[in-house]
Structure 1
Amino acid sequence: MTTTLKKPQRSARKPKGDGHLRRGEILQAAERIFIAEGYHGATIRKIADEVGVSSTALYMHFRDKDEILLEICDGAIEQLLNINLEISARPIDAVARVRLMLDAYMAFAMDNPNAYQLVFCGPAGVLSEAKQAATQALGDRCYEKFVGVVREIGASGRLRTGTVDSAAQSMWAACHGLVSLLLTKSGFNWAPADELRAVLLDGLLYGLVTD
């Protein structure tokens, strides 16, 4: 008996007039493709098929997949930077601001899992240092805003152990570790995510900061 293999169905093309999609639609589709296929497996054709347009139409918005990936990363980091800027300006205790920043960071990861994994969990070296320079600078600003609040805690003599840098990096690493596990090991019988976040923050801040 002969079996005839059917070609996979391609996404339907958008009607004329709808083909010039907003950049946001392309970016959302690209996030899914990058996660599913990896950077090297993702192609302009696959991204175009995902959103139902021709490759030519997609090139009207982006030069190549590097530009798409960079815009995804820049958009994610810019959102986190704006969150940190807003929280850092609040007239409340520095410890409370640090807690809010870390919780917002984890909430962002859970609300934007594809973008988060591309920015913070993706393989290094897929883009040149020159192409990533602006993204790196944006990330440095975001991190420095967080460290600045930790520095306030250190200046008041309230750090129980470590330095400002080691305390800030330990807190960030712990939060990243939790959300990365929640995103990539979904089959595990986790406690509720909100509870895990609260317990982690309690442990970090009670362990690192004196009353």
Structure 2
Amino acid sequence: MFTGIIEELGEITELSWKGEGAVLAVRGPIVASDARHGDSIAVNGVCLTVVTTDGESFTVDVMKESFDRSSLAQLTPGSRVNLERAAKVGDRLGGHIVQGHVDGVATITAREPGDLWEIVRFTLPPDLARYAVEKGSITVDGISLTITEISADHFSVSLIPTTLEVTTLGRKAVGDLVNIEVDVVAKYVERLVTPHTDRLAGGAR
């Protein structure tokens, strides 16, 4: 589990394709400092498992499923990525519950700089729209953010200077793709109530 609070802006140093999968090498001295084989690290919001580490960098295997559901296939050596280690039991939950299981990909459609913050607008995939609400949490490239405005096919967030400085969202441009993970609590609630709402709907006929 993660919290969506980015620890470090890392860099892709190597991407080696192996059939439909690949091995990523990532430089991130902070997250790699205590990383061990088998540990989980979120790379742009995608939970990946450490294979090797030298204390400065680490490698991960990326499966076809991860490439199909995320924007990881667009990474190249030199790409900057958001990094977060898995949360420890007892840590402060500064963001929200993030699994690192990307639900889909969105596109940045607008950026509106302000005096103290910047409003960034994204497309909202139709199959994820029901899980997003104004003032609710959403994960963008691994960053825990609050939705400030929402419509049927778009949502917006307001980014403070710190977020712009220490994450990839300060460098992304209109048209760039980002990974989206909706609030897992909303998905569980839907799963739990659907049988009851279906039964009630059936009885009303």
State the TM-score, normalized to the length of structure 2.
0.21
State the TM-score, normalized to the length of structure 1.
0.20
**Where is the helix percentage greater, Structure 1 or Structure 2?**
1
